[in-house]
Chains A and B, each alone.
Chain A
Amino acid sequence: MHNGKKPNNNVEKISRFSIRRSLSVALRVLNMFRRDRRTMGMMLVIPAVIMVIFGLTLSGEIVNLPIILDNQDVGYSVEIPFVGNVTLDVGQNITNALDNDKRVELTYGIYEENIENVENGDYFAVVHIPEDFSYSIFNITQGITTQVTIKLYLDATKPPIRASIVGAIHDSLSQIIGDVGIEVEQILAFDGAQFTGYDVGIPAVMGFVITFLLVLIGTLTVTRERIMGTEDRLYSTPLSTAERLTGYVISLLAIAASMIAVILLVGVVAFGATVRGNFFMLILVAFLFGLAHVFLAVFLSNFAENELQAIQFAPLTALPSMALSGMLVPINSLPVWLQPISKIVPLTYGINLFEGVMLKGWGFKELWVDFLVVAGMALLFFVLAILTVRNRMKD
């Protein structure tokens, strides 16, 4: 026996860890990265984009919620001995306070005429201050028991938005007149729909899951053809590119269908999420939204040479979608210059559709614009896929 250090037939026993070997592996990995310019670029771009987008969207609280104010208060003038004529206009004071509150963005209008603007989703609330508001406040200060009510017609489908609006109104009241027991009557839109917990989150999550998973699975599935080397072989067969893409779309739709079934099952059955609208409408929404993302995936996969490139499209699509679609904070609360970008994010319309059907009980009548936009986007992605698809070997 020998101790391992001693040469045996001039063959030295060497088993120590070599950092040089590790370094050669590391160098090899980095070198291949360097060669894949796209992946390298993405590794630098993705964190930057996601940091910026989430930083901008998550930093602030909920602001700029559009509400309509109907201030009917005519004020109240009273002759106070030794002081003179005093005019109270509490309605105007509250208006000013709300105007200064950044949580809400005021528009002025008649209460009755604007209820439909809450029902159709353009505004989150209408606030009504009664004609005799100042007079009633005066009476209260004189110790006369008076019933004073501020009416609030409100979209209560999202608790944080509701809390912000109600908070803004309460703050303005206590700021102007202190705690004098003014009732704020909340009338809830969409037939009294108010939700908590899972109900509120599930519709947006369903849209997000479809966006993320279909882009991920779709791009990977289509890119596999390229990686396996079978794509080049297909160019020698009578299969046309349109036939090929249609084939991918059909298979991905089948995958999407089973995925959507699971999403609906988990969302509605397991979480017990509310579906106020038609369930078939919900299925239709899910499929239309899924179709758009299948097309998007086929389109994006035209730009991926390998799995590493393909896999980047999913987070690059889904994460900004999440931030910009109003899933995390209402679009109105985003920085003004970011808001137009929300308009080109499919998930913005997807969430409108899912929330519309599930939380507000809407159908085609209220959602046709969103339906049209998603269908238009689907068509656009399909056309782009056809226009950018490779129809021959790389040269």
Chain B
Amino acid sequence: MSITSDYVIETKDLVKVYKTGKVKAVDGLNFKIKKGEIYALIGANGSGKTTLLNMIIGALYPTSGEISVFGYSVPKNRRTTSNYIGVAPQEYSLYSDLTLKENVRFFSRLYRMKKPEFEERFSELLKILRLEDKRKTLVKNLSGGMKRRTSIACALIHSPKLLFFDEATVGVDPVLRTFFWEYFNSLKEKGITLVLTSHVMDEAERADRIGLMRAGKLIEEGPPQELKAKYNVESIEEIFLLLSNGVIVDA
């Protein structure tokens, strides 16, 4: 493997073709993410963001190319890397007939967390996610935004070093969203790496770096301010429209 481990994530010529379609969902993608970075992947629906994430976390096998996470080759070593990764998927992906706490406890057990350690971390997360009074509520009775936050609690419970948020702030109100970003920054200070996807462009401006995806390719990458200066525009959205060459994409 030619990939070195200076980066938390590194991909080389990564390609994914789904069996059901002939289109390359991810098409020869190379990208690197440094430790403690907040990286936002933006692009229209179907541009390959989620596919890329799923391959990095080892849940989806690449058609070709290489992936390295913490210096380990994935998916071969996914059982190692997954111990240090937290994922909040696009769908809630929770057990609706279990309570909030039962859901989070279930995931914590998959990381072999002991009960006292769990209780401490769980209380801390509930405070951050403003879910303190919902711990015994069945997930099916939670609102969409609360389910989203429960899902995030499941992703954070084992204090991962690398976090993936797939459209994490959908259904989260603006006040809480601001609060989320404060929390993201505090994680960053602890050296935790965050990768998030979004099709809300202004949200991405708060990231350290953004990567613009289109048709499975990374078409532009860099810190938001630099990119805006480069294209001489006011917002990331404008860059996106510019690079899309006016092609209407399903967003």
From 379 to 395 in chain A, residues with beta carbon under 8 angstroms from any chain B beta carbon are 392-393, 395
Name the A residues within 8 Å of B61 (CB-CB). Answer: 392, 395
Number of A residues contacting the other chain (C-beta, 8 Å)?
A: 15
Q: How far is the CA of A233 from the CA of B83 in the complex (A)?
A: 14
Number of interface residues of B (CB under 8 A): 25
Interface pair A238/B18, CB less than 8 Å apart: no
Cβ-defined partner of A239 (8 Å) among B16, B54, B96, B110: B110
Q: List the B side residues contacting A364 at CB < 8 Å.
A: none
| A235 in the interface (beta carbon within 8 A) | yes
Whether A240 lies near B79 (C-beta < 8 A) is yes
Q: Could you tell me the distance in whole angstroms from the C-beta of A40 to the nearest C-beta in chain B?
A: 19
The 6 A-B residue pairs with the shortest CB-CB distance, nearest first, are: A235-B59, A233-B93, A236-B57, A236-B87, A237-B110, A393-B60
Determine whether the beta carbon of B95 is less than 8 Å from that of A230. Answer: yes
A236 near B59: Cβ-Cβ < 8 Å: yes
* Interface status of B94 (Cβ within 8 A of chain A): yes
How many angstroms between the C-alpha atoms of A394 and B115 in the bound complex?
A: 34
Task: Pick the residue among B19, B58, B94 that contacts A235 (CB under 8 A).
Answer: B58
Name the distance in Å between A29's Cβ and chain B's nearest Cβ.
24
Question: Residue on A with the closest CB to B151?
Answer: A233
SS of A interface (majority): loop
**Chain B residues, CB < 8 A from A234:** 110
Decide if B95 touches A236 in the complex (CB within 8 Å): no
B47 CB, min distance to chain A CBs, angstroms: 18
A305–B192 Cα distance when bound, in Å, is 37
Query: Is B85 interfacial (CB-CB < 8 Å)?
Result: yes
Can you sample 5 A-B contacts with CB below 8 Å?
A: A233-B89, A235-B57, A240-B79, A393-B54, A395-B19
> Using a CB-CB cutoff of 8 Å, which residues 198-249 of chain B contact chain A?
none
Q: Mark B84-101, 1 if CB is under 8 A from A, else 0.
A: 010101011111100000
Q: Considering the complex, which residues of chain B in the window 37-95 have a beta carbon less than 8 Å from any beta carbon of chain A?
A: 54, 57-61, 75, 79, 82-83, 85, 87, 89, 91-95
* B128 to A: closest C-beta gap in Å: 21
Tell which of A235, A238, A240, A395 touches B111, judged by Cβ atoms closer than 8 Å: A238
Residues of B within 8 A of A240 (CB): 79
For residues 216 through 244 of chain A, which have their beta carbon under 8 Å from a beta carbon of chain B? 228-230, 232-240
The residue from B58, B83, B96 contacting A228, defined by CB atoms under 8 A apart: B96
A4 to B87 alpha-carbon distance, docked (Å): 59
B79 touches A232 (CB 8 A): no
CA distance A239 to B87 in the complex (A): 14
Q: Could you say which residues of chain B place their CB within 8 Å of the CB of A235? A: 57-60
Whether a CB of chain A sits under 8 angstroms from the CB of B107 is: yes
Contact B75 A392 (CB under 8 A): yes
- Docked-complex contact A228 and B75, CB < 8 angstroms: no
The distance in angstroms between the C-alpha atoms of A137 and B111, with both chains bound, is: 86
